[in-house]
Structure 1
Amino acid sequence: MIFTELVLENFGPYAGKNIINLRPETEDNHRPIILIGGMNGGGKTTLMDAIRLALYGQRAQCSTRNNLSYTDFLLQAINNQATFKDITRIELAFEHIVDDQWQTFRISRQWTNNPKDGKDTLGILNGEWPDTALANTWDEYIETLLPLGISNLFLFDGEQVKELAEQDTPPQSVIDAIQSLLGLELVERLAVDLEVLVSRKRKALANKSQLKNLEEIEGKLNHYNQEEADAKQAQASLQTQLKRAQNKFKEASEKFRIEGGKIAAEKSNLDQQIEILKNTINAEKQVMIELASNTLPLSLISPLLTQAKSQIDTELQLQQAELARTILEQRDQRLLSYLETLKLTQDKFSKIQSFLKQEYDNLNQDNTLNNKTWFGISEEELKQLVNLLDHQLPLQLALAQKSTKTLQQLEGELDSKEREVNVAASPEDYQKLTDTLTLAQQEVGQCQSAYQVGEQRLKDAQKAIEKIKKELRNYSEEAIDKQNNEHLIKSAAKVQNTLQLFKERLTLKKLNKLEGEVTECFRYLLHKSDLVHRVVIDTYNFSLSLYDPNGKSVPKHRLSAGEKQLLAIAFLWGLARVSGRNLPIAIDTPLGRLDSSHRNNLVERYFPTASHQVILLSTDTEITQKELQQLQEQDAIAHQYLLEYNSAQRQTTVHPNRYFW
């Protein structure tokens, strides 16, 4: 099967008629990849929805449908610029082998603002001719080509891969798709058909009383079968509600944190810390006041005090010199008196007297060079000044500097704490944040309780079904034991047992092959090929277990987010290879959370070989210029398109032969 063309007319953001060539070839050279680039919200997912809608119509699992009725969904999908008379149309052309020959089909769905019977109008071209009979049985026919149950394994987006990677056990929808893809549902269908056959035989063989009992039992069985179907449907809806409530609670928690709720919750602690800081700062300021009330202010005139010390030294020297001069003068007077008693000649006496006078004059001259006296303090007072300059002031300056540094640090911490208080939510806003968070938490609790109740309802219905089936088998053995067709009923029971054994062995065989394919694909995509040696798939719930080369289990939580995503992709790739179905693959948001090495492996190894036709819907941050060049060097790209969205007009324009670069 090959998609060859997609036509969108007034669908979603696509105004007018838009034609996209999907044929995986150029100039008769096969190139598997059709690359479609667009920013988020630009219409990539709408293209994927268009393919699904064309194939499955009312049954399509489109991203924007949610709980809308099909009529409301069709009306919602009409382009906002379309007039009341304009037609909205989707066409998907594809080729498929019929009787060993390629045959072209074109699916056309169209509707207006007033769709007929609330539905679209379906038309099928088989070759060049309309095929009304095929259009009437299209739902059955498409199930033979690309069954709806497995479509999400071939038409998937990054979010599906992300969810599949993060869950330990695949969801029930994926399990059903895997069973369908591996052909396991055929055994289940045969078992159901045998039940129908046995039921008919029981009715044919039973008397009126037995028939009435059988009908009552089968009525109960039908009731509980319906109950089981309703419970499954309700459980799926409850799971969606639970997930939505969990996301809402996550958003409320994030908003509570970002908008200051956490700080507001700790406000009392912050206020206490601020009060302690203020008291510490006041105590430190008191220390500085005490320092300032002592001799510390004298440090402001320390140069003058040093000069004063020098002047005082000089003055003390003058005092000492004056004292010495007085002593010498008294000694000279005694000397002269003594010399007079020696009766020296007048000439010698005069010379001695002249000498002493000259010495005295010289001494007076030295003392009068700097004989200004300003302070007149004692030597003991000088010692006190020296002690002040050399010891007291340096010590008090060191204490003041330490106290100043401590005070600056404390004031910085106080400023930081006060800013934290300022950004905290007000009491009113804090109460709103708290109420929102509490309501979201209550909603999660209610949804979890409802989900558990729904789960119990489903288990009860399944248990009741098993009990009634056992009652039917017992009734068959007890009430119709002697009828002619007893052999058929017993044989059917044996066949069912054989079918169960066959299903188990077939499942084991298929899963063994699938394990090999998934292991090969995962190791091929990983850049750390020695991380995982073998992938094992559980036969009951299809969960994956990983083992290293030594046979030891590798917990999934040891894998990075990117490695988990590669494991999910390898799982889908292995399924496609084991199924043997030659189907196109379309991937929306293909490289969501992968690092550069994993991106490189996916671009080089997966995209060009995943299928004969690979449609990639990417943003500019996924298939970047580097990845584009890699794919071009491999001659893997057949066509490329750029979806350019005009937010003012809410329209998307399709530019062929273009990408972001």
Structure 2
Amino acid sequence: MKLQEIVIHNFMPYKGEQKIEFPQHETQNVMLLFGDNMRGKTSFLNSIRWGFYGLALGRHMRLIPRVNLVNSIAASEDNWTMSIVLKFSHEGRQYELRRQINKKEHISIPRNDGDFEELIGLKIDNQVINGDSIVNEINQVTPEEISRFFLFDGELLQEYENLLVEQSEQGEKIKEHIEQALGVPALVNGRNEFSKLLTDARRIQTRDAKNSSDAKTYAEQQRVNEGKQATLEKDIQDLEIQQRDVQKQIDDIEEELKNTEAVQRKKYELDTLKGQLKKVEEQLAYDADEQRKLFKDAWKDVLFKGVEPLVSSLQKRRNSLMSAANNKAVLDSKISELQKSLAKPICPTCTQIIPQEELDVITAKIEELKAEAELSSVDFDDVTNINLQIDKLNKVKSHNECSRICELVTKRRKAQVAVITIETQIDDIQEEIRGFDTEQIMRQREKKDRLGNQLFKLENDIKETKAKLNKLSENQAHISTLISKSSGSEGQSSTIRVNLYQNLESVFKAGINELRDALRGQVEEFASNAFSQLTTEKTYAGLEINNNYGLSILDHTGNVLKERSAGAEQIVALSLIDGLNKTARKSGPIVMDTPLGRLDPNHRSNVLKYLPKMAEQVVLLVHEGEIDPSRDLSNFAERIGARYQIQRISATESRIVRSN
């Protein structure tokens, strides 16, 4: 299938009629649609999906109501007509598909899907197709179950990461979609039909066995099992209804919260600011208390500055007196020695009498030393008094109270400025979210968490109940075999039917497993080949697939890589998409919304070179942060067949224009 043209009329942000032509060249098969976020890239993808299948998907694969599909400006002008026209070719035939909704005549302002009527028309080679055959014709070209593998966005790429988690609920759901695309349900439906026929046949066999004395006991056991089976099936049905109800409540809350994301962010910011304000105010109170304590001893710091030089002066004076006293002691010692020489004038070395002229010199020296000693005379009471003064003055201690008070004053002044700034920010945010019930938003978030726990419990209950049902089925099969072998039952038609349906069910079960194994092998092979061309790390051995179709990276030794970056996840997801498209029953164009968001420049270059090979047509819906026209287009410029730009007209209106 190859897209040729789409005509959009009043669909979401696209007011009025807008026509986009897809590239038809075999090698120039890439179309680029540039647009900033919130301008309509995802809406363009949804226009294709809605044109084919009559549904548009929001976040978490939720259906978008019809009333939200009609352009809001057109609706405000009471123009509630919206339509999509798709022209495409398939196996040499030309198709023109038109899908349109209008509000019903008796409806003033539509509120729900039932307030619209939908019209659908299809021409094949200009021949009008009957309405009851249109859906079948579309599914012959591009079945709805494979649409998620050629119409997908960045959110879908991230979903594939869940496939790595065996037995995860979300992984199981994606696996179901994958197997739908690969054709597994054809066998699954056949198995289920034979399972129903087998159940009916066993019921008849049980009824017949009541008339046999050998099988009567088995029949009673089977009758009890049938009652248990009905109970378990009813329990599963009730649990699944509860599960859907809880999931719907979660989806509704998520949709409500999505519309208040900005308010939630502001509320979180407000709570953060209030927390910061509380800390600053607590610190201010602590610093004020510390400042009061410092003021009690601040006089010591002031007095210390006057006492300090006085103590220093006293210490110098005391040192001077002590030095003089030490000097006098030395002089007195010298005088004493010289006086001994006068008292006994004999030289201690030669034992001769010292001459008179030398004694006169000693006498003169003694007089000189006595005069000097007199000058060094110290009154020790003065030293004692000085020491007492120093001791008293040293009691005036300083811990730099004044300096610390100054620091606290500066610190508190800055904190007070911070308080004013934070209070201003709080006032601004409160003004922004005035009118929103932020407490209700928080309650909804808490309710969503509670529902999530409830959903988890329901999922476990369903698994446990299904396990009980499977075990019961095994017991029923065993008893049915015993009945079949009992005398009087072997030739009965009910036993023949049971054996036949059991064998057919087993054949289909084996076929399903063989088909799944074969398909997984093909997907793994194709995906590994794509991965080798997409990744920049060439030492990887390839990819390994699990039962969920989750892909793990194998390193050069063949071991599974434990940790993967966000970019690696995206490369693996793209490889899986390529593998699924090459394995699927039908092939078609690929339309990717925001496919390169988490890739580094080198991986982005590899992806852009490989994407044109993934399908006959590749449509990339990107913003310039993903593909820089001046830098990245060189990677596949020769493959670009058309370029478009989404122009913003207003917050609720955009227009798609062709670029050079």
- CA 1:96–1:77: 2 relative to 1, 3 Å: same
Please tell me whether residue 566 in structure 1 is matched to residue 571 in structure 2. yes
Residue of structure 1 in register with 2:452 after alignment: 448
Is the Cα–Cα contact under 8 Å of residues 277 and 414 in structure 1 kept in the other structure? no
Q: Distance in 2 between matches of 1:462 and 1:265?
A: 53
Q: Distance in 1 between matches of 2:516 and 2:605?
A: 34
TM-score, L = length of structure 2 = 0.69
Please tell me whether residue 256 in structure 1 is matched to residue 268 in structure 2. yes
Give the residue type in structure 1 aligned to 2:523: L
Give the residue type in structure 2 aligned to 1:139: V
- CA 1:288–1:640: 2 relative to 1, 3 Å: same
SS at structure 2 position matched to 1:450: helix
Q: Distance in 2 between matches of 1:152 and 1:584?
A: 12
- CA 1:569–1:274: 2 relative to 1, 3 Å: farther
Residue of structure 1 in register with 2:654 after alignment: 652
Residue of structure 1 in register with 2:462 after alignment: 458
Deviations 1:235-256 (A, max 9, x none): 6436646867998899858843
Please tell me whether residue 619 in structure 1 is matched to residue 609 in structure 2. no
Deviations 1:590-617 (A, max 9, x none): 2222222222221122x22121101111
Residue of structure 1 in register with 2:95 after alignment: 105
- CA 1:154–1:115: 2 relative to 1, 3 Å: farther
| Deviation, structure 1 residue 178 | 1.6
Please tell me whether residue 40 in structure 1 is matched to residue 37 in structure 2. yes
Q: Distance in 2 between matches of 1:580 and 1:160?
A: 21
> Which structure 2 segments of 5+ residues have no match?
107-113, 211-218, 311-396
- CA 1:516–1:405: 2 relative to 1, 3 Å: farther
Moved more, 183-192 or 403-412: 403-412
- CA 1:185–1:95: 2 relative to 1, 3 Å: same
Is the Cα–Cα contact under 8 Å of residues 562 and 595 in structure 1 kept in the other structure? yes
SS at structure 1 position matched to 2:595: coil
Residue of structure 2 in register with 1:533 after alignment: 541
What are the residue-to-residue correspondences of 1:478-557 with 2, within 5 Å?
481-482=489-490, 483-484=492-493, 486-530=495-539, 532-539=540-547, 541-555=548-562
Is the Cα–Cα contact under 8 Å of residues 250 and 448 in structure 2 kept in the other structure? no
Residue of structure 2 in register with 1:274 after alignment: 287
Is the Cα–Cα contact under 8 Å of residues 518 and 570 in structure 1 kept in the other structure? yes
Q: Distance in 1 between matches of 2:39 and 2:442?
A: 36
Please tell me whether residue 233 in structure 1 is matched to residue 247 in structure 2. no
SS at structure 2 position matched to 1:80: helix
Residue of structure 2 in register with 1:372 after alignment: none
SS at structure 2 position matched to 1:278: helix
Is the Cα–Cα contact under 8 Å of residues 249 and 437 in structure 1 kept in the other structure? no
| Deviation, structure 1 residue 88 | 2.4
Give the residue type in structure 1 aligned to 2:118: D
Residue of structure 2 in register with 1:604 after alignment: 609
- CA 1:616–1:505: 2 relative to 1, 3 Å: same
What are the residue-to-residue correspondences of 1:214-613 with 2, within 5 Å?
223=234, 226-227=237-238, 230=241, 233-234=244-245, 236-237=247-248, 240=251, 252=264, 255-257=267-269, 259-264=272-277, 266-267=279-280, 270-271=283-284, 273-275=286-288, 278=291, 289-290=302-303, 292-294=305-307, 412-423=410-421, 439=443, 442-459=446-463, 461-463=465-467, 465-466=469-470, 469-470=473-474, 473=477, 476-477=480-481, 481-482=489-490, 483-484=492-493, 486-530=495-539, 532-539=540-547, 541-555=548-562, 558-579=563-584, 581-605=586-610, 607-613=611-617
Q: Distance in 2 between matches of 1:183 and 1:93?
A: 26
- CA 1:287–1:527: 2 relative to 1, 3 Å: farther
- CA 1:33–1:404: 2 relative to 1, 3 Å: farther
Residue of structure 2 in register with 1:329 after alignment: none
SS at structure 1 position matched to 2:614: coil
Q: Distance in 1 between matches of 2:52 and 2:561?
A: 40
Is the Cα–Cα contact under 8 Å of residues 108 and 122 in structure 1 kept in the other structure? yes
- CA 1:8–1:63: 2 relative to 1, 3 Å: farther
SS at structure 2 position matched to 1:120: strand
| Deviation, structure 1 residue 201 | 4.7
Is the Cα–Cα contact under 8 Å of residues 107 and 125 in structure 1 kept in the other structure? yes
Q: Distance in 1 between matches of 2:120 and 2:80?
A: 17
Moved more, 166-175 or 2-11: 166-175
Q: Distance in 2 between matches of 1:85 and 1:516?
A: 51
Match of 2:152 among 142, 152, 156: 156
Q: Distance in 1 between matches of 2:96 and 2:601?
A: 40
| Deviation, structure 1 residue 3 | 0.9
Deviations 1:479-504 (A, max 9, x none): 67441353342233233334333333
| Deviation, structure 1 residue 528 | 2.2
Is the Cα–Cα contact under 8 Å of residues 535 and 546 in structure 1 kept in the other structure? yes
Give the residue type in structure 1 aligned to 2:571: L
- CA 1:441–1:113: 2 relative to 1, 3 Å: closer
- CA 1:599–1:85: 2 relative to 1, 3 Å: closer
| Deviation, structure 1 residue 412 | 5.0
Q: Aligned residues: percent identity?
A: 18
Q: Distance in 1 between matches of 2:533 and 2:64?
A: 42
| Deviation, structure 1 residue 462 | 2.6
Deviations 1:80-112 (A, max 9, x none): 268556742211111111xxxx10111101222
| Deviation, structure 1 residue 447 | 1.9
| Deviation, structure 1 residue 215 | 9.3
- CA 1:596–1:498: 2 relative to 1, 3 Å: same
Is the Cα–Cα contact under 8 Å of residues 246 and 444 in structure 1 kept in the other structure? no
SS at structure 1 position matched to 2:462: helix
Please tell me whether residue 187 in structure 1 is matched to residue 187 in structure 2. yes
Is the Cα–Cα contact under 8 Å of residues 274 and 417 in structure 1 kept in the other structure? no
Q: Distance in 1 between matches of 2:261 and 2:47?
A: 33
- CA 1:614–1:39: 2 relative to 1, 3 Å: same
Please tell me whether residue 139 in structure 1 is matched to residue 135 in structure 2. yes
Please tell me whether residue 91 in structure 1 is matched to residue 104 in structure 2. no
Give the residue type in structure 2 aligned to 1:110: Q
Please tell me whether residue 114 in structure 1 is matched to residue 111 in structure 2. no
Is the Cα–Cα contact under 8 Å of residues 24 and 34 in structure 1 kept in the other structure? no
| Deviation, structure 1 residue 51 | 0.8
Q: Distance in 1 between matches of 2:568 and 2:538?
A: 11
Is the Cα–Cα contact under 8 Å of residues 45 and 151 in structure 2 kept in the other structure? yes
- CA 1:637–1:646: 2 relative to 1, 3 Å: same
Q: Distance in 1 between matches of 2:76 and 2:84?
A: 15
Please tell me whether residue 127 in structure 1 is matched to residue 125 in structure 2. yes
Deviations 1:53-93 (A, max 9, x none): 11112x554569956655x456x457526855674221111
| Deviation, structure 1 residue 153 | 1.7
Residue of structure 2 in register with 1:53 after alignment: 50
Q: Distance in 2 between matches of 1:630 and 1:283?
A: 76
- CA 1:614–1:284: 2 relative to 1, 3 Å: farther
Q: Distance in 2 between matches of 1:115 and 1:585?
A: 38
| Deviation, structure 1 residue 454 | 2.7
Give the residue type in structure 2 aligned to 1:651: E
Give the residue type in structure 2 aligned to 1:127: D
Please tell me whether residue 20 in structure 1 is matched to residue 20 in structure 2. yes
> Which structure 1 segments of 5+ residues have no match?
298-398
Aligned length: 542
Q: Distance in 2 between matches of 1:654 and 1:6?
A: 12
SS at structure 2 position matched to 1:152: helix
SS at structure 2 position matched to 1:604: helix
Is the Cα–Cα contact under 8 Å of residues 47 and 56 in structure 2 kept in the other structure? no
TM-score, L = length of structure 1 = 0.69
Give the residue type in structure 2 aligned to 1:621: G
Is the Cα–Cα contact under 8 Å of residues 7 and 17 in structure 1 kept in the other structure? yes
Give the residue type in structure 2 aligned to 1:256: Y
